[in-house]
Amino acid sequence: MRRAILIMSVLAVGLAIGGYVFFSGERKAPVRYRSAAVERGPVISLVTATGTINPVVSVQVGTQVSGMIKSLHADFNSVVKAGDIVAVIDPEPLRARRDQAASNLDMSKANVARARTDLAQRKRELDRVKSLVAQGFVSQNDVDVATTNFQAAEAQMNVAGAQVKQAEAALNAVELDLKYTVIRSPVNGIVVARNVEVGQTIAASFATPNLFLIALDLTKMQVDTNVSESDIGGITEGKEATFTVDAYPGYPFSGTIRQVRLAPINVQNVVTYNVVVSVDNQDIRLKPGMTANVSIVVAQRDAVLKVPNAALRFTPPMAGQGDRVKLGGNPAKEKGAELAAGAGRGAMAPSRTVWKQSPSGELDPIHVQTGISDGLATEILSEELSEGALVVVGIERPKGDRGGSDLPPGFGGGGQRGSSRNRGM
């Protein structure tokens, strides 16, 4: 009897200790998920880039002769017409060269007159010798000498004539250079840059100096922007583009893609392409050289199903033993679906996986076909999801789940935090 009482007492104590540990011990909080609803609305895919505003046509005005700038007739922002004088180079050195070329021409003409006189004399001597040789008064050698003298005089006449043409060409060249000392605007436009001052000496020996930069028409501007090779595929001529500039914050400007240039730009192994956006600038608000933040509409869908991108990035957590949390459903079927999703990433409509929480708390995978994305939401092309359906976007941690290692430096890790932190995958 005493032994039975002792055994029952030990069992009672064991049950009491086990009940205390079971009901009073620390229990792991259940995993709670954050969900978001599938919505219907527009999705706009944009490509952003940075560019520079430039005139559509800009002409660099230079000079073909060297010399000192004598006077300037145009300044910054001057409106000029084709043929207007914008600068004058000191013409005095070229005038001296012109006078020298003119005197050389006169000397060449005088040489022609002297050669013509000598040729006429040689012609008379040859005729005289020919008449005397028939009568036997002179020898044949005298005839040969007279013929040679005549031919030499004829050649000298040709040389003198060539020298006249050479002197005339030199004079024309100097007069042309003298004409180029007056620099005129080649187009109608506005002077946007002036790179010389009065008294400055410019040399045009090796390269043409750039004196002025004239914009043809500032009411028509363009944005030259560089788009990376990963985004250039969806950009074509005629697409709309919007941009902003720092001078007018919050004010959007619109334009149209005029050209996608095929020449690649390679900077430190990064390949970009120049995209030219035409802009109407009737109010002259946009100035050359402004930096533009360009947004190009690559694709747009209206009234389509879309899910947050966080739902596409979410992956169910791993249990402490390294096993996946119970998902419900057929594992073999899920594995095959994951393989199909991996194979579908190379297709036109990629296959992605989103997770939906069942009433029992388990996660069920749903494989959907996705379309374009605007960075926050992605278009859903398949019919596996309907509008209003809830999909998992992250895990909500319970209070006090934050460890001391997660706290900023200088804070202790022993106490519990009063706020909760949401973790989006």
Cβ neighbours of residue 90 closer than 8 Å, sequence gap 6 or more: 67, 68, 69, 70, 181
How is residue 95 annotated by DSSP?
H
What are the beta bridge partners of residue 369? 351
CB distance 45 to 74 below 8 Å: no
Distance, in Å, from the CA atom of 114 to the CA atom of 137, rounded to the nearest integer, reads 31
- State phi, psi for 229 to the nearest 5 degrees: -65, -25
Confidence of residue 398 (pLDDT cuts 50, 70, 90): low
Looking from the CA of 242 toward its CB, the CA atoms found within 13 Å total 6
Separation of alpha carbons 318 and 142, rounded Å: 125
Give the span between the Cα atoms of 6 and 403, in whole angstroms: 46
Q: Which of 31-40, 85-94, 256-265 has the lowest mean pLDDT?
A: 31-40
Match 């004399």 to its residue by tokens: 121
pLDDT of residue 331: 39
Domain ranges across the chain: 32-43+305-424, 93-178
Most confident of 32-36, 158-162, 310-314: 158-162
Residue type, 338: E
Mean pLDDT, rounded, for 222-230 = 94
Query: CA 64 to CA 186: how far, in whole Å?
Result: 14
Q: 284 or 335: whose pLDDT is higher?
A: 284
The CATH architecture to which 93-178 belongs is Orthogonal Bundle (1.10)
79-111: per-residue pLDDT in tens?
A: 999 999 999 999 999 999 999 999 999 999 999
Beta bridge partners of 265: 272
Mean pLDDT over each residue of the chain, to the nearest integer:
83
Say whether pLDDT at 230 is over 80: yes
pLDDT over 60 at 288, yes or no: yes
CB proximity list for 424: less than 8 A, separation 6 or greater: 34, 310, 313, 314, 393, 394
pLDDT of residue 30: 65
Q: Please state the pTM of the whole predicted model.
A: 0.62
Residues 315-339: tens digit of each pLDDT: 887 633 333 444 444 433 343 334 3
